[in-house]
Amino acid sequence: MDYRILGTTGLSVSALSFGASSLGSVFRNISEQEGIKTVHTAIDMGVNLIDVSPYYGLTKAETVLGKALTTVSRDKFYLCTKAGRYGENEFDFSYNRIIKSAEESMRRLHTDYLDILLLHDIEFGDRVQVLEEGISALQDLKKQGKIRYFGVSGLPLTILVDTLNQINLDVILSYCHYTLNDTSLETILPILSKKGTGVMNASPLSMGLLSMRGAPDWHPASQKIKETCREAAEYCESQGTPIEKLAVQFSTAHSFIPTTLISTANPENIANNIRWMNEPLDEVLLHEVKKILAPIHNETW
């Protein structure tokens, strides 16, 4: 496993990290035993950063993860969770709710501190409340030693940049913007470097677009994006390489992006993802796939 420093936090994080949303049965129903074994497999193979949220499975992901971590030494992993989003359309970035949310998460996760706490999907929140109350809550939690570092997550890169221009953040989490089909995260790396803000890149498979199974029905991408990604997946299969492998190798190869989150609740899948990182990237295949995806490059939703 390759390890890189996350911004100016000093945390040396695994290039591939574990996204625990799958533990909340977000993509399919999973058993606790399967989820726990997946967490243990990831840590045993060198993953040391785990990201979760009370929103995933409506606290189920945090609950299962907490059970998995009770048998793991706390110095073996960095723990990141979120606050502010609690349902499909339930957002609350008020000061008191963020404080309460952090305490609830720590109880579910069986820990007395969090390495990172993020405000979750801030584009859906009231901007004044996010900046004046949510961030203030994070700052106070950090002063109290309950969290070590803080930041925000969101899909639109513009909302992340706007927040960075108003407040210093230790970390941001961006998803679906450094993948085979969308590398727009690169455009904000200069401001992240200038601010000393670490970036966590999530969803190298573009929430299922870059997979043979294909995007789920709820995926917000356009039909054109879905069809083009499907074409790329079928081409990879014809060449004997799963597109998932190429996608993970590509997203984790960027030396200025410290870590990329992958989410699965299958022990075999997480083991495969970690092994793929140690194999050479097929540059010829990458070139051909990029050509296929060129018509939709950096198109988002």
CB distance 85 to 115 below 8 Å = no
Q: How far apart are CA 147 and CA 196, in angstroms?
A: 18
Q: Strands 78-83 and 49-51, how do they pair?
A: parallel
**Which residue type is seen at 232?**
A
Give, as one character, the DSSP assignment of residue 14. Answer: E
CA 59 to chain centre: 17
Closest alpha carbon to 152 in 198, 100, 106: 198
Catalytic positions are: 56
Give, as one character, the DSSP assignment of residue 281. Answer: P
CB distance 199 to 257 below 8 Å = yes
The answer for residues whose C-beta is within 8 angstroms of residue 291's C-beta and 6 or more apart is none
Task: Determine the 3-state secondary structure of 257 from DSSP.
Answer: coil
Residue 167, φ and ψ in degrees, nearest 5: -150, 150
In DSSP terms, 78 is beta-bridged to 49
Q: How far apart are CA 116 and CA 261, in angstroms?
A: 14
Task: Determine the 3-state secondary structure of 86 from DSSP.
Answer: strand
**Which residue type is seen at 145?**
G
**Which residue type is seen at 199?**
V
